[in-house]
A and B are shown apart, each in its own frame.
Chain A
Amino acid sequence: MSRRVRDPLDYAPDDLDRPFWDGCRRHEFLLQRSGVTGRYHWPAVSDPDSGREAMEWVRVSGRGVIHTFTIVHQAYRADLADRVPYNVVVVELEEGPFFHSNVVDCPNEAIRIGMQVEVVFDDVSDEVTLPRFRPRRPSRPVGP
């Protein structure tokens, strides 16, 4: 079981990305979709392809694959000293965009590029929920 990085270090939603973080509090993973091209984007932007602002927030799968990662051994902040080593991954979401995050429920040494992951919402405080990712498990039968 890997340790979790609990505290939000830089949580400062602004008008552009507030819908995303509000969605996380509802345990919904949202991405912006271009009304022009239909492509999904993160972080929040005006449409990088057309330059037009026809973007809407859409709930998406929360699934993806690990595109690349690192295991951080150096504590760059004093408050991370008891948490190293921890992982940082870049997830390539099914809908296209990259998303930086952590993988949980997986030892650091088992993390691999190409690993299939799914979002899990970590309510780190009453105000803040961070999306992290865990390895996707085979689908299980519903019920007792």
Chain B
Amino acid sequence: MSRATVARPSRISAIWAGGATAISALIAARGVLALGQASTVALCYGFAPSALRAPSGSRTGSGTGLGGYAYGYPALYGMLGAAASHALHAQRHIHLYGTTSEQLGAVAVTQRGYAAKRPGTLGFERPITLADHQSSRMICDPLRLLDCCRDTDGGVCVIVATRERARDLRGAPVRVLGTGTGHNIRNWYDKSVYGHHDDIAPAKARAFAEAGVGLEAVDVAALYDPFTISVVMQLEAYGFCAPGEGGPFVAAGETGPGGQIPTNTSGGPLSGYYATGFTAMVEAILQLRGHGGATQVDGAEVALVSGHGGNGGVQNTWAHATALLGRGL
């Protein structure tokens, strides 16, 4: 007799919100569980962006690849893909605060340092230097090649269950302390869109209020980081440092091992692997289980997870999603 368990789901639904997909799916799962519609929900992710790439050796995208999508009227002007979108934020940040390319490079170098110690990541045993960053070719000024993540073929499954069900499951459980979302379309109309990475404030407020903890409780951060500027601006928006201080904060090593807030400890999408928002969620779970290997944050009890993506009207108008996870039940 086969030992395989035949899956008999009561429902299957698709959720797509770009890099906010993982947390959006978690929020949907919490709703399903809260309504008693199920006791266990599987968040399943799989993607093979390599199928979208241009032939080997070509330096130009296929036009349909993950990196070069067209979106609305800005495409008329050659505004294609996520790097250009994030470059607009980065250029504004440089203008407002004097953030430097070297400070953005510090994000890349720090996170590669984590990935270099984590088997299975794209950056395993391949550390980089700031000089490597500075000599990497320009993609969308001011973002260089090493300011950008790479897409990755892969899959993730996260099981979300009621507390009662989780007690009966194998493996070390992780608690969902709080979740929240915000959307940047509001900031398009009030013209703060480029000063913000996303509309993080409402997502953060809801998640932390539900969790009943403050920022000081967070031991490890897993921030969605398609580009280096994303880490800088989120560290500021979440309050780990003051607005404009994100660059110096990272350059001083505060996101590295032993820093104030170890961030993206598997390398994140930048140097670990890209899984559309699941990268951060997976690393937070591993850290809270104590399975962070050579980059484990000792005694990690609370992890902050973020995601952003899913355009909502104009290029750059992403959703932002926040989750706070805690060790054990």
A residues bordering B, Cβ < 8 Å? 5, 8-11, 17, 41, 43, 48-49, 67-78, 80-81, 83, 85-86, 88, 90, 92, 96, 98, 100-102, 113-114, 130, 132
Having A77-B60, A100-B74, one finds 5 other A-B pairs with CB under 8 Å, namely A70-B84, A76-B63, A90-B194, A98-B193, A100-B315
Contact A88 B79 (CB under 8 A): yes
Q: Which residues of B contact A80 (CB under 8 A)?
A: 60, 78, 80
With contact pairs A43-B72, A73-B137 given, residues A78 and B63 touching in the complex (Cβ less than 8 Å):
yes
Known A9-B70, A88-B77, A102-B77: A68·B88 in contact at CB below 8 Å? yes
Provide the bound-state CA to CA distance between A71 and B89, in Å: 13
How far does the Cβ of A99 sit from chain B's closest Cβ, in whole Å?
Answer: 9
| Min CB gap A126→B, angstroms | 17
Q: With contacts A5-B77, A78-B63, A130-B76 known, is A68 near B138, CB below 8 A?
A: no
Q: Which 4 A-B pairs have the closest CB atoms?
A: A76-B68, A70-B87, A100-B74, A10-B75
Q: How far is the CA of A48 from the CA of B187 in the complex (A)?
A: 11
* CA–CA, A98 and B81, complex, Å: 19
Q: How far is the CB of A23 from chain B (nearest CB, A)?
A: 14
Quick one: which of B76, B79, B83 has the most chain A CB within 10 A?
A: B76
Q: Determine if A71 and B70 form an interchain contact, defined as CB atoms under 8 angstroms apart.
A: no
Closest A residue to B63 by beta carbon equals A77
- A-contacting residues of B (Cβ < 8 Å)? 54, 59-63, 65, 67-68, 70, 72-81, 83-84, 87-89, 91-92, 95, 137-143, 188-189, 191, 193-194, 313-315
Which residues of chain A are near B141, meaning CB under 8 Å? 70-73, 85
Across-interface contacts of A17 in B (CB, < 8 A): 73
Contact B77 A100 (CB under 8 A): yes
User: Do B75 and A68 have beta carbons less than 8 Å apart?
Assistant: no
Contact of A73 among B76, B89, B91, B140 (CB under 8 A): B140
Q: Give min CB distance, B201 to chain A, whole Å.
A: 18
Across the interface, name the chain B residue whose C-beta is closest to A11: B76
Assembly CA distance A74 to B226 (angstroms):
16
Interchain CB contact under 8 A, B61 and A76: yes
A-B contact pairs, 17 of them (CB 8 A): A9-B76, A9-B80, A10-B72, A17-B73, A70-B84, A73-B140, A74-B140, A75-B59, A75-B61, A76-B61, A77-B63, A77-B80, A80-B78, A85-B138, A98-B191, A100-B315, A130-B76
A90 to chain B, nearest CB (A): 6
Distance to closest chain A CB from B145 (angstroms): 9
Docked pose: A78 CA to B80 CA in angstroms:
12
A67 & B74 in contact (Cβ 8 Å cutoff) = no
Bound-state Cα–Cα, A83 to B60, Å: 12
Is there contact, CB below 8 Å, between B63 and A101?
no
Cβ–Cβ < 8 Å partners of B188 in chain A: 98
Tell me whether A71 and B92 are in contact (CB under 8 A): no
